[in-house]
Amino acid sequence: MTHDELLNSGLLELYVADACTPEERGIVEQAMKQSPAVEAEIRVIAQALEAFAQENAVLPSPDLRAKALNAVFQEVPVSQPQATVYPIITRSRYLIAASIGLLIGALPSIYFLTERSTLLDDRNAAVEALAEARTNNSVIANKVNYYQKSLDAMIEKNVRRVQLPAVQPNGTAYASVFWNTNSHNVVIDARGLPELSADQDYQLWAIVDGVPVDLGVINIATTEERIIAMKSIDRPSVFAITVEPKGGRPTPTMEAMIVAGKVG
């Protein structure tokens, strides 16, 4: 913990009030050994709390002393065995009364420290909320940037859209491939593909000169947007998607083809 962090943490105030944990006490005392400034700050805090306590002390009611002494020196009930009574000297009586007065005088200081601790907790909660909001804003900004790049890749003048309907007569799966005839970049819109089991992946293929070429695995389970940039390809005649074991295969499983479409 740096010097500034220690000064702003509230540990020094808790140390002065003897309200910190043994571990926190060790941190403060170690800092006092290493930095005279910390020790000086503790003295300033102690003086400030003492001044605050004196300025805000609440005078006890006139009968408080009598009630306190009666509570301390009340007679032993008759029903209990009689105990041997030893005389208490006047000095002890004053010490007890002084202790009670000190406790009452310290209440404003304890209240001050409790309120400060609450404020520190509220401040820390606000800092965490702000950090979370910034993270959320960053995520949103990244998504906007992602969609913008995807849209640019789809509407560029050299892009050709290839529709991939289901190969089965009653199939409902559907996808679209956006192929740039100039840069050869490929983007797939896989939002029309159904979910797969955890041990399967979709895999995109291009047929070039009659040979299937792997364009990559489409893991829709971990890609929320499902608009994905794939491997580039030159001179494709057909695009197709197959269902393969997790991670894909070097060659397509033809009987597992789900959608396909010719490049017009």
77 and 36 in a single domain? The answer is yes
Pick from 132, 147, 176: which residue ends a domain?
132
The verdict on residue 154 lying in a domain is: no
pLDDT in the model for residue 135: 63
The verdict on residue 148 lying in a domain is: no
The verdict on residue 250 lying in a domain is: yes
pLDDT tens digits along 113-134:
565 566 666 666 766 766 666 6
What CA–CA distance (Å, rounded) separates 242 from 201?
Answer: 8
25 and 95 in a single domain? The answer is yes
The verdict on residue 139 lying in a domain is: no
84 and 180 in a single domain? The answer is no
205 and 166 in a single domain? The answer is yes
Other residues' Cβ atoms within 10 Å of the Cβ of residue 13: 22
Average pLDDT, the chain: 74
169 and 258 in a single domain? The answer is yes
* Number of domains into which the chain is organized: 2
Q: Which CATH number characterizes residue 208's domain?
A: 2.60.40
pLDDT in the model for residue 94: 45
Residue 259 pLDDT level (bands cut at 50, 70, 90): very high
- Spatial CA neighbour of 171 closest among 193, 189, 153, 195: 193
Read off the pLDDT of each residue in 16-27 and give the average, rounded to a whole number: 80
Q: Characterize the bridge pairing of strands 186-189 and 200-208.
A: unpaired
Read off the pLDDT of each residue in 47-54 and give the average, rounded to a whole number: 66
Q: Characterize the bridge pairing of strands 200-208 and 238-245.
A: antiparallel
127 and 15 in a single domain? The answer is yes
The pTM for the full model equals 0.45
The verdict on residue 251 lying in a domain is: yes
pLDDT in the model for residue 93: 45
Burial class (CB in 10 A: 0-12, 13-18, 19+), 187: buried
pLDDT in the model for residue 132: 67
Whether residue 218 contacts residue 200, with contact meaning beta carbons closer than 8 Å, is answered with: no
77 and 198 in a single domain? The answer is no
Whether residue 235 contacts residue 220, with contact meaning beta carbons closer than 8 Å, is answered with: no
The verdict on residue 147 lying in a domain is: no
Residue ranges of alpha helices (H) inside the chain are 3-8, 11-16, 22-34, 36-55, 64-73, 90-155
Which residue segment(s) compose the domain that 257 sits in?
159-262
pLDDT in the model for residue 177: 93
The verdict on residue 63 lying in a domain is: yes
35 and 79 in a single domain? The answer is yes
218 and 115 in a single domain? The answer is no
30 and 125 in a single domain? The answer is yes
pLDDT tens digits along 206-247:
999 999 999 999 977 655 567 888 999 999 999 999 999 999
pLDDT tens digits along 124-174:
676 676 666 666 555 555 555 555 555 555 556 788 889 999 999 889 999
The verdict on residue 80 lying in a domain is: yes
87 and 180 in a single domain? The answer is no
182 and 92 in a single domain? The answer is no
